[in-house]
A and B are shown apart, each in its own frame.
Chain A
Amino acid sequence: MDLNFSDQERAFQSEVQTFLAENLPDDIAAKVRLGDGLTKDMMDLWHSILNAKGWLATTWPKAFGGPGWTPVQKHIFEEECCRAYAPRIVPFGLNMLGPVLQKFGTAEQQESILPRILSGEDWWCQGYSEPGAGSDLASLKTRAIREGDAYIINGQKTWTTLGQHANKIFCLVRTSSEGKPQEGISFVLVDLDTPGIEMRPIRLIEGGHEVNEVFFTDVRVPVSNLVGEENKGWTIAKFLLSHERTGIAGVGFSMQALEEVKVLAHTIRRGAKRLIDDPLFAARLAKVEIDLEAMKITNLRMLFQAQKQGAPGPETSMLKIKGTVINQELRDLARRALGPLAAPFPGHVTDGNILFGPADTAFNAARYFNNRKTSIFGGSNEIQRNILTKTMLEL
């Protein structure tokens, strides 16, 4: 057993570190660190910087313009990005639709769509969940009825992340009500400029806007926008969800949060003492650090397994559950550490960092509330437990 990266991997790691030090714009890293939302321009800029280096589509094989990395390289890249406070890559086109088209798309779809994802000409968003189809995604009701060479789509999608920036959406739609619910679903690409589409913002618990509802009324989409076969969309959906699960432990983000909380605990004072001198707070922090240390190894063990087997197994559900719980615990500590200083509404804190507490803390309570989403989205932690129950318990 050897817990160290190979020489080659270490060389790659320092290459990534150098690249980030030289190319990640300071103002973007500062905003990521603060936990404030990035503008579309900032996200586009970061994507274009990575694309110029050939490091944007980390999950794509070389043939399609990806770097052709091993899972370990991908892991190193993600961890270094977190350490440097680089923005998360917006995953919908790059990590979701890209791999789907590479596996299920026609040559024409691959040629016309993939380059536009890399260049940033197209911003894709996801039309999966519906008000009545969340955990039970297969019960989705948005209908696509075939009329000549077009589908006519009617229905509603929700939780469409960053849809406000998108010009395209990939959707799961019902093309048949025969058989099991899973058997009548198709995967369709839709241009958001098509008449009959309305996108409405959803305001989140902390006041921010990242998700949307999308309404479809008699939206006419060419049949050539179907990906894979009609009524076989569920296979694609499952494939895509397994891609959504890579990096799901969010170890890098938790390492960021741990460092932030450590700094806070050493900076914040409770009278004559530092917060870290309070044994109760120190115990909370030490416990979660222990959990994270174990999680890092669990993550690497599963990564190693995936590298050998070629695909992540159901154990990744454990990464999702434990990874989100650790991250949420750290966000709880970051809020808790501030005491009453965490209370101001971030939007009201104009002179925030100087007036209300240590630097970079204006969004700590907001981030705690916003991060409650992580145990709900991408297959809730309850659904992950169901997956584990079904595959591991052998009842």
Chain B
Amino acid sequence: MDFNLTEDRRMVLDTLSRYLKDQYPVEHRIKVAYDAPFHDPSKWSELAELGLFSALAKESVGGFGGTGFDIAVIFEALGKALNCEPVLPLVMASRLLGSAGLDQQALLEGGHSYAVAISEPDAPYELTDISCTATSDHRLNGRKSTIYGGQTAQTFLVAAKAGSTVNLYQVDANDAEVISYGLIDGGGAAEVLLDDTQAELIVENAAHALSDAMNAGIVALCAEAVGLMTVSYEMTADYLRQRKQFGRPIGSFQALQHRAVDMLTEIEQARSITIKAAAELDGKQASRYASMAKNLIGRASRLVAEEAIQLHGGIAMTWEYPVSHFAKRLIMLDHQLGDADHHLSKVMDDLASV
């Protein structure tokens, strides 16, 4: 047993962490995350040059990483920096293009961006619920909703139903109606309206490919949350040590001490389930562990976000103080790729089927 990072991953992590700390501080992130295009395109190019994207892709598709652990290590660092770059859709797109057997050099070099269009207004989390349809000559109809990174995507990878099977299609952003907007927790997304839109079929019977991509995305989100929670806790603990009321640091009050260490315990649990989901990502039970992780992360993120605000008091309710932005991201992360209840029901289904 060894919970240490391999030398290669340690190097990727160090390079990325240093870059984010020096070149992409939280103050800069807060500035770019709320104005179109809701990220910083020049930083996106620099992240590509660092080799970050290749580290998120498997060797079989031209990358040099791409396992659950690679994804988890990188996304924890991105979470600590409150990243708003559309790296999540990149991870999912890499897996999907791999399943389709398509070249993805342009994706990994940062020159061509993809967004993954699965969710719909009435089918936010469940693949089998989607109602977007494809004709036999690959024309798509329907609305894809809250497509993360859709505001900058040149190509959409779209899940649509042809009869009763779900296929994966590729749509040029210029061929669809794309409505871009910013998100309450920073970063951007888009609505994609498909009206007899010409598409290219890239994976037939894509349920497995899509769930693989979603599982990878879940590992990424969980690790991001662990990073966000770690920083939220550190800022809270610092504040408990420094803030004085009634002539003493507020951290000297036992009522607050216990709540701070409860946060810490939840974060350790969150880290552990993320490690488990990462380890299982390319195994047979990937979906089961991804669901377990996303449920626990949903619960822990809410506790940590709300307690970070409450233990700080009013100051954490302000835009100016970064904890508020970490809290927003932690809460809204539960609205991506299935919330805590959605994944709890998956684990419940598993229990019932034994």
Contact = CB atoms under 8 A, between A and B. Distances in A.
B317 A372 contact: yes
A134 B185 contact: no
A369 B331 contact: yes
Which of B244, B250, B334, B335 has most chain A Cβ within 10 Å? B335
Interface stretch (B71-79, B85-93, B103-111, B116-124): B116-124
B182 interface: yes
A236 B119 CA distance: 56
A288 B345 CA distance: 20
Nearest to A375: B310
B172 interface: no
Given A270-B122, A339-B339, A372-B309, A205 B317 contact: yes
B319 A271 contact: no
Given A136-B245, A270-B124, A369-B328, A343 B317 contact: no
The residue among B121, B306, B334, B339 with the most chain A CB atoms within 10 A of its own CB is: B121
Interface in A267-294: 268-272, 278, 280-281, 284
A340 B319 contact: no
B128 A271 contact: yes
Contacts of B314: 129, 134, 158-159, 373, 376-377
A344 B181 CA distance: 7
A278 B34 CA distance: 34
A30 interface: no
A157 to B, nearest CB: 13
Nearest to A349: B181
A185 B123 CA distance: 59
Contact of B184 (A271, A357, A366): A366
A185 to B, nearest CB: 16
B232 interface: no
Contacts of B302: 332
A272 B179 CA distance: 26
A376 B122 CA distance: 36
B145 A205 contact: no
Nearest to A203: B319
A357 B121 contact: yes
A202 B318 CA distance: 7
Nearest to B245: A136
Interface string A333-352: 00110111111111011000
B181 A368 contact: no
B183 interface: yes
A208 to B, nearest CB: 9
Given A369-B331, A372-B306, A205 B182 contact: no
Interface string B313-337: 1101111100010011001101110
A206 B122 contact: no
Contacts of B310: 372, 375-376, 380-381
B37 to A, nearest CB: 12
B328 A344 contact: no
Contact of A385 (B122, B247, B255): B255
A15 interface: no
Nearest to B312: A376
Nearest to A271: B129
A355 B184 contact: no
B221 interface: no
Interface in B215-255: 244-247, 250, 255
A284 B298 CA distance: 15
Nearest to A348: B181
B44 interface: no
B169 to A, nearest CB: 20
A207 B319 contact: yes
A345 B184 contact: yes
A369 B327 CA distance: 9
Interface in A372-395: 372-373, 375-377, 380-382, 385
Contacts of B126: 270-271
A241 interface: no
Contacts of B335: 338-340, 342-343
B309 to A, nearest CB: 5
A377 B316 CA distance: 12
Contacts of B245: 133-136, 139
A263 interface: no
Contacts of B176: none
Interface string A195-213: 0000000111111000000
Most buried by A among B123, B189, B317: B317
Given A345-B34, A365-B332, A281 B341 contact: yes
A356 B331 CA distance: 19
Given A134-B313, A278-B345, A369 B184 contact: yes
B256 interface: yes
A382 B253 CA distance: 11
A355 B339 CA distance: 22
Interface in A298-349: 332, 335-336, 338-346, 348-349
A272 B336 contact: no
A119 to B, nearest CB: 32
Given A204-B318, A382-B256, A355 B179 contact: yes
B182 A348 contact: yes
Given A280-B341, A372-B317, A382 B123 contact: no
B122 A271 contact: yes
Contacts of B119: 339-340
Interface in B106-162: 119, 121-126, 128-129, 145-146
A347 to B, nearest CB: 8
Contacts of B125: 270, 339
Nearest to A133: B245
Interface of B: 34, 119, 121-126, 128-129, 145-146, 179, 181-185, 189, 191, 244-247, 250, 255-256, 302, 306, 309-310, 313-314, 316-320, 324, 327-328, 331-332, 334-336, 339, 341, 344-345
20 contacts: A134-B245, A135-B245, A159-B314, A269-B122, A271-B123, A336-B334, A336-B341, A340-B124, A340-B145, A340-B336, A342-B184, A343-B146, A344-B181, A344-B182, A373-B314, A373-B317, A376-B314, A377-B314, A380-B313, A382-B256
Given A270-B123, A343-B146, A372-B317, 15 more contacts: A133-B245, A134-B245, A202-B320, A204-B318, A280-B345, A284-B341, A336-B334, A343-B332, A369-B324, A369-B328, A376-B309, A376-B310, A377-B314, A380-B310, A382-B256
